[in-house]
């Protein structure tokens, strides 16, 4: 709730945002979280899982719209329909959304639709917006972003192979994609596809294009859904899809041929903040569950409630510290993005991208451990939250790729720093001389006394 906003940012959050945060919190805690198992039950079993649209989601969406909780993610000033929240303000809302499986979708703020809507809003032309952005913003359809491919190292997007070839008034697409999240949903009507339209371009960052492909276009085959640990995440799902001579009109190209990198880079900043803040919310919920467990009067191993065990108290305290530190890192990135734009905030966003999933996983794993068997099972939200967040250490590039890049960036000042330290050492030598002293070194008189 707004009363829990860290002191460090409270003066940047408008009163309207604070009110909305309170509404979001109440909606999530009282409507969405109780609805999550209902949603799961409505998804059901077997092949039907991929054909359902759980009715309770539409109930929640109706309630959310009534409460004014709709499309909150759209950045301030970014688009006419934007409710006008800053990244900071929406970030604080997203934390609450992250506590529930259904909440983001209920408020039309769920990935990958949010990023896709941003792409269409920022880079789409009027016709593209009319056809796809409108129903997306209205929650009528869903979308997927098809970038990662099974046969290459996708963390380096220049490797992407899906072929986009122009033939007259059409583009013809051939290739394979996987981890196409959301492609399982029967309401997923539009794919935003990254592919290679100009493989011979000397600039490796001008070879790619992004193009719109309706999901029911001929030549598209959904082969299967990838599991995340044992979860299939139906009906959303993570699809493996092939394109065989899939044809779309040239009008479906976004922004223009060769501008794919530009588009995906513009898409990443806010999405990373959203993911990170939702993960913070998940970690907070895991901590809540851990508190519930350690106060369970029925479960006292060796005669003491878990809350009296020193190791557990330390877990709780460390979780509190780590979550709070991680949240500040995300909010700092959000504010920098708000004030100076995503490009200037690259470092801060990368810090959040790496730090937050690891923090959340650590906290959730402690909660799992405190629950014993129940922790790994379907009886707590912990195991599935853990699995979901585990993918964030891989999605949009594994931690290690980001760390290498951050290390290189940090080292840009290496040469200057080295020169500065040498200057300081020279200055020390001058001062030594001026003060008539020498550095005291142990054993420096050995020679004189012995040889």
Other CB atoms within 10 A of residue 378 CB: 10
Query: Which listed residue (3, 7, 66, 200) binds a copy of itself by CB under 8 A?
Result: 7
Binding flag, residue 18, a copy of itself (CB under 8 A):
no
Total residues contacting a copy of itself by CB under 8 A comes to 161
Helix H or strand E encompassing 133: none
What string marks each residue from 180 to 199 as x (binds a copy of itself by CB under 8 A) or -?
----x-x-------------
Binding flag, residue 167, a copy of itself (CB under 8 A):
no
Other CB atoms within 10 A of residue 145 CB: 26
Binding flag, residue 58, a copy of itself (CB under 8 A):
no
Copy the structure tokens of residue 82: 């934007």
Binding flag, residue 341, a copy of itself (CB under 8 A):
no
Query: Which listed residue (16, 62, 153, 199) binds a copy of itself by CB under 8 A?
Result: 153
Other CB atoms within 10 A of residue 227 CB: 12
Distance CA 331, CA 21 (A): 15
Cβ distance to a copy of itself smaller for residue 140 or 223 = 223
Query: Which listed residue (127, 325, 341, 343) binds a copy of itself by CB under 8 A?
Result: 325
Copy the structure tokens of residue 190: 């539009």
Query: Which listed residue (4, 14, 125, 221) binds a copy of itself by CB under 8 A?
Result: 221
| Residue 231 bridge partners (DSSP) | 228
Binding flag, residue 313, a copy of itself (CB under 8 A):
yes
DSSP 29: I
Binding flag, residue 372, a copy of itself (CB under 8 A):
yes
Binding flag, residue 342, a copy of itself (CB under 8 A):
no
Smallest Cα–Cα separation from 241: which of 263, 223, 255? 223
Distance of CA 422 to the CA centre of its chain: 42
Following DSSP, what letter does each residue of 416-444 receive, concatenated? HHHHHHHHHHHHHHHHHHHHT-----TTT
What string marks each residue from 102 to 141 as x (binds a copy of itself by CB under 8 A) or -?
----------------------------------------
Copy the structure tokens of residue 443: 């054993």
Cβ distance to a copy of itself smaller for residue 93 or 361 = 361
Binding flag, residue 202, a copy of itself (CB under 8 A):
no
Near a copy of itself in 222-241, by CB under 8 A = 222-232, 234, 237-239
């Amino acid at each position: 709730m707004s009363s829990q906003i860290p002191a460090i940012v409270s003066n940047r959050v408008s009163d309207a945002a604070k009110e909305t945060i309170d509404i979001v919190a109440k909606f999530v805690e009282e409507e969405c979280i109780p609805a999550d198992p209902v949603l799961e039950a409505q998804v059901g079993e077997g092949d039907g899982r991929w054909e359902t649209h759980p009715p309770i989601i539409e109930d929640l969406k109706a309630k959310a719209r009534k409460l004014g909780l709709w499309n909150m993610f759209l950045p301030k000033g970014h688009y006419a329909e934007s409710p006008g929240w800053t990244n900071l303000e929406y970030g604080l809302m997203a934390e609450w959304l992250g506590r529930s499986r259904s909440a983001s979708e209920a408020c039309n703020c769920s990935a990958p639709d949010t990023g896709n809507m941003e792409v269409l809003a920022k880079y789409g032309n009027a016709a593209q917006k009319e056809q796809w952005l409108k129903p997306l913003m209205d929650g009528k359809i869903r979308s997927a972003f098809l970038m990662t491919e099974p046969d290459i190292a996708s963390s380096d997007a220049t490797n992407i192979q899906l072929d986009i070839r122009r033939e007259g008034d059409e583009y013809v697409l051939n290739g394979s994609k996987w981890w196409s999240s959301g492609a399982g949903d029967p309401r997923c009507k539009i794919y935003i596809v990254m592919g290679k339209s100009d493989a011979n371009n000397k600039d490796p960052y001008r070879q790619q294009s992004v193009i719109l492909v309706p999901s029911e276009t001929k030549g598209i085959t959904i082969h299967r859904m990838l599991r995340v640990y044992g979860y299939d995440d139906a009906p959303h799902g993570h699809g493996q899809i092939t394109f065989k001579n899939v044809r779309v009109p040239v009008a479906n190209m976004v922004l223009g041929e060769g501008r794919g990198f530009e588009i995906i880079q513009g898409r990443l900043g806010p999405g990373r903040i959203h993911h990170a803040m939702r993960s913070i919310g998940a970690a907070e919920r895991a901590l809540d569950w851990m508190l519930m467990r350690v106060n369970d009067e029925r479960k006292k191993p060796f005669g003491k409630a878990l809350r009296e065990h020193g190791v557990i108290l330390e877990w709780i305290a460390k979780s509190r510290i780590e979550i709070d530190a991680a949240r500040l890192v995300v909010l700092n990135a959000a504010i920098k993005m708000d004030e100076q734009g995503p490009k200037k905030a690259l470092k801060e966003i990368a810090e959040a991208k790496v730090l937050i999933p690891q923090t959340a996983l650590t906290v959730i794993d402690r909660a799992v451990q405190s629950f014993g068997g129940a922790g790994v099972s379907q009886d707590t939200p912990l195991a599935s939250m853990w699995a979901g967040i585990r993918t964030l250490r891989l999605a949009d590039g594994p931690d290690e790729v980001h760390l290498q890049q951050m290390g290189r960036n940090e080292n840009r000042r290496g040469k200057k720093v080295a020169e500065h330290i040498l200057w300081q050492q020279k200055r020390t030598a001058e001062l030594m001389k001026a003060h008539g002293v020498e550095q005291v070194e142990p054993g420096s008189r050995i020679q004189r006394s012995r040889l």
